Amino acid sequence: MKIQNLVRRAAKVFLASAILTGPVARGANVDYFADNGFGKPLSTLQHPSGEHFKTTTYIAYQGPHEDAYVAAYNHSTKKWSGPVLAGVSPMGKTPDPVDNNEVDNHGKPAMMVDNKGYIHLVFGSHGGNPNLGKNKFGTPAGFGHGGKQTHIVSKNPEDITSWRVVDNISPFGTYPQFVQMDDGDIYLFYRHGSHQSDWVYQKSSDDGLTFSSPVSVIKHKLQAEGKLHDAWYAWFAKGKGDTITASYIYHPCSYPNHTKDRLNVYYMKMNCADDSWENAVGEKLAISVTKEYADQKTLVLNSGKGRCNHGTCRVDQEGHPHLLFRYEAGQVRYTRWTGNAWTEPVAVISDGSENGQDGDMIVESPTSVRMILTRTIDGKNEVACWKTEDGGKTWAKEPSIFSRPGGGFDIGALIENHTAEAMVVVSEGRVPEHLYRKMVLLGKDGPLQRPEAETSYIQKQLEILKKSGVKPTPKEERKAKKAKTGDDE
Ligand code: ZN
């Protein structure tokens, strides 16, 4: 080769590498930490989806193939690590669908960090299937959605790079929810099967090495006339001291087929000293709670025909619960227990942006509460805080934290033990061509940014999609399909 050519080639290589490494050298930052969220990567129902431990915020979400991915942000060094593939979902498809109706979306992970720093995830199931044996807490009709509830643990403390499967929980589960107590006890709540199943917990007192057998707390039941099946969507979290709150809504499922109906709001509390339950006025409850018993003892709101969907529950210094639930098309409503009664539920956002609201709340005192909410307004999706100082009667919007044109943000519950810098994770709206989504970690002042060159994780998936020639389903077909699917994502 002539010297001239060599020089030309060297110049080309130099130029190419300068273009490739340019953003790194200049440190161009973007608002997202990874681009490989998939489908509906997170929700408030599978929670927590992140935890702050020592100096690091750990985050778990659903990535390509519905697998569980984990990323971490070290607040001292200001460095990101991951995302890494932590666990493979038995529900994943190859290639990844480009139509969200073909994604199950129930197997996204719940995460916790135990006292020794090991990171635990439960994920990978929409209630299991008959090949896994007999489900003691669900009907055969409650089967059919597949997967296997899977518990994985980081091989080393505070290290997201390697994982092992621990076969110590029921495979029949969905909507996993971890509650950690101050004494180190771990309660893993979930629905023991598909929609026509009980809500149960398994308890561990040894950092998740072993768990008790499942204990049912809310009961599914075919009604006497045999046409409706009592079912539930429930949300569990740490209350004041050694207690756990349960807020839940009723799902009158038709038998044997699923419907999308959701009604009413209920509340009760567990005393972890003896694992007994009581209602808001402190009356002891006999579990597992049936529909009739719940109506009599734990009802917060009879919504009549109005659709109610689950939200979150946080407590004040008195231990009194504050409830966020979604009404009709996804308008967030709020009520709290005053010590004697539930306050009249109030629409937190009342400016006409009625759809797609969701989020969580920080209770500062019985009368001062801040909600962090996502919503769609004026053709854009937005995350902002809404604050009340009068016990929930009126709410004022604070400046927007994050917004993007379009819709379709998903938001998780608050990061456990969160700092002001990293409160909650959201995924940006989908693009038309595929279901990969950008993941954003938000603090009170906005996204925790990352150099753009560190955020790209879907090159391989995009190549596979391109080769497979998979095209998005036409809109009308998509609508028809959507009408058939049902269980909450
Ligand atoms: Zn159902």
pLDDT digits (tens, 9 = 90+) for 295-327: 999 999 999 999 999 999 999 999 999 999 999
Confidence grade of residue 124 (pLDDT, cut at 50, 70, 90): very high
**Mean pLDDT of the region 125-136:** 88
State the pLDDT at residue 142. Answer: 58
State the pLDDT at residue 276. Answer: 98
Confidence grade of residue 377 (pLDDT, cut at 50, 70, 90): confident
Share of the chain above pLDDT 70, in %: 89
Ligand 1 center–CA 149 separation, angstroms: 19
Place of tokens 């998780």: 412
d(CA 62, CA 131): 25
**Taking 80 as the threshold, does the pLDDT of residue 173 lie above it?**
yes
Ligand 1 center–CA 212 separation, angstroms: 27
Range among 178-182, 225-229, 465-469 with highest mean pLDDT value: 178-182
**Taking 60 as the threshold, does the pLDDT of residue 4 lie above it?**
no
Decide if 339 contacts 371 (C-beta within 8 A): no
Give the tens place of pLDDT for each residue, 74-90.
999 999 999 999 999 99
Q: Which 3-state string (H, E, C) describes 460-474?
A: HHHHHHHHHCCCCCC
Ligand 1 center–CA 252 separation, angstroms: 7
State the pLDDT at residue 429. Answer: 84
**Mean pLDDT of the region 259-263:** 90
**Mean pLDDT of the region 368-379:** 93
**Mean pLDDT of the region 443-457:** 96
Tokens encoding 462: 């995009």
State the pLDDT at residue 479. Answer: 62
* 3 state DSSP class of 173: coil
Decide if 172 contacts 138 (C-beta within 8 A): yes
DSSP 8-class letter at 108: P
d(CA 402, CA 302): 35
Ligand 1 center–CA 393 separation, angstroms: 34
**Taking 70 as the threshold, does the pLDDT of residue 254 lie above it?**
yes
State the pLDDT at residue 230. Answer: 95
Catalytic residue among 32, 175, 266, 327: 175
- Average model confidence (pLDDT) across the chain: 90
State the pLDDT at residue 2. Answer: 47
State the pLDDT at residue 378. Answer: 84
Catalytic residue among 47, 52, 65, 106: 106
**Taking 50 as the threshold, does the pLDDT of residue 149 lie above it?**
yes
Residue 341 buriedness (CB in 10 A; 0-12 / 13-18 / 19+): exposed
Confidence grade of residue 352 (pLDDT, cut at 50, 70, 90): low
**Taking 80 as the threshold, does the pLDDT of residue 407 lie above it?**
no
**Taking 70 as the threshold, does the pLDDT of residue 144 lie above it?**
no
Higher pLDDT pick, 477 / 227: 227
Ligand 1 center–CA 331 separation, angstroms: 22
State the pLDDT at residue 123. Answer: 98
Ligand 1 center–CA 381 separation, angstroms: 29
Give the tens place of pLDDT for each residue, 6-43.
445 544 444 444 444 444 445 699 999 999 999 999 99
**Taking 80 as the threshold, does the pLDDT of residue 98 lie above it?**
yes
The reply to whether CATH 2.60.120.10 applies to domain 2-485 is: no
State the pLDDT at residue 368. Answer: 98
State the pLDDT at residue 7. Answer: 47
CB atoms within 10 A of CB 88: 16
State the pLDDT at residue 408. Answer: 85
State the pLDDT at residue 323. Answer: 98
State the pLDDT at residue 487. Answer: 62
d(CA 246, CA 271): 11
Question: In this structure, what are the phi and psi dihedrals at residue 101, rounded to the nearest 5 degrees?
Answer: -65, -15
Q: What is the rounded end-to-end Cα distance, in angstroms, of the chain?
A: 61
State the pLDDT at residue 309. Answer: 94
| Residue 250 known to be catalytic | no
Ligand 1 center–CA 288 separation, angstroms: 19
d(CA 199, CA 193): 9
| Residue 32 known to be catalytic | no
Confidence grade of residue 224 (pLDDT, cut at 50, 70, 90): confident
Share of the chain above pLDDT 90, in %: 77
